[in-house]
């Protein structure tokens, strides 16, 4: 009897996992098209009922953050693994910008998270960035941040938006030009700058 009861529950869990995957895949396509994530539209695209979408993701923000969760986890790992050097910091910033340019929904989850889980992930990312900056300053004393880590993340979101909407956004060199300008601003102590230090 116990085995019979367990079987339907297993089927239900599989169905729920499959529906969740279909919802996320549909939402990703819509987001990549630059369209807002309306739950009824996502349901139609995923070929599931609107109620099914709401059971998994009660708000568009929750769906947006579910899309961003894996990407944020990847950035946390990259921040922890990055060399504590100017080049390591630059490579990390480039990884963030690449995600922001590729995925327009990622910025809202990164800059203003709604769910508790995403807030925890953002906090871990900020700690990783803070450690990376501190290690870079120790290794290269001429480098010092002009902004706090939370401010740097907001600025990265803004730069990602600018690149996505630039007339020459398909230029492969555009991201690196913006990245150089960003580093010139937030790390004024690196080579080529002679202005005053600004604490974070």
Q: Could you read off the pLDDT of 129-168 as tens digits, one per residue?
A: 999 999 998 988 777 888 899 999 999 999 999 998 999 9
Q: 103 or 163: which carries more pLDDT confidence? A: 163
Region for residue 47 given its phi and psi (left: phi exceeds 0; alpha: psi -120 to 50; beta: otherwise): left
Enumerate the domain spans of the chain.
1-58, 65-200
Determine what percent of the chain falls in helix, strand and coil, rounding each to the nearest 5: 70, 0, 30
Please give the share of the chain, as a percent, with pLDDT higher than 90.
52
Q: What token pair was written down for 8? A: 């339907």
Distance in angstroms (rounded) separating the CA atoms of residues 81 and 197 = 27
Q: How many CA atoms lie within 13 A of 193 on its CB side?
A: 19
Please give the model's pTM, rounded to 2 decimal places: 0.76
Topology (CATH) of 1-58? Arc Repressor Mutant, subunit A (1.10.10)
The third-level CATH classification (topology) of the domain covering 65-200 is: Tetracycline Repressor; domain 2 (1.10.357)
Does the fold of domain 65-200 match that of domain 1-58?
A: no
49-94 pLDDT tens trace: 999 999 999 998 889 888 888 889 999 999 999 999 999 999 999 9
């Amino acid at each position: 009897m116990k085995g019979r009861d367990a079987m339907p529950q297993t089927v239900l869990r599989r169905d729920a996992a499959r529906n969740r995957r279909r919802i996320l895949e549909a939402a990703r396509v819509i987001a990549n098209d630059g369209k807002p994530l309306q739950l009824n539209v996502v349901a139609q695209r995923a070929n599931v009922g609107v109620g099914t979408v709401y059971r998994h993701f009660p708000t568009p923000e929750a769906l947006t953050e579910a899309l961003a969760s894996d990407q944020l986890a990847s950035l946390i790992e990259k921040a922890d693994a990055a060399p504590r050097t100017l080049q390591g910091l630059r490579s990390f910033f480039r990884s963030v910008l690449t995600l922001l340019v590729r995925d327009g929904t990622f910025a809202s989850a990164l800059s203003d998270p709604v769910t508790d889980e995403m807030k925890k992930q953002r906090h871990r990312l900020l700690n990783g960035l803070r450690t990376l900056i501190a290690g870079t300053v120790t290794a290269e004393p001429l480098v010092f941040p002009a902004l706090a880590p939370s401010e740097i993340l907001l600025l990265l979101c803004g730069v990602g938006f600018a690149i996505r909407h630039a007339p020459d956004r398909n230029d492969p060199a555009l991201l690196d030009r913006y990245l150089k300008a960003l580093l010139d601003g937030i790390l004024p102590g690196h080579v080529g700058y002679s202005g005053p230090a600004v604490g974070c």
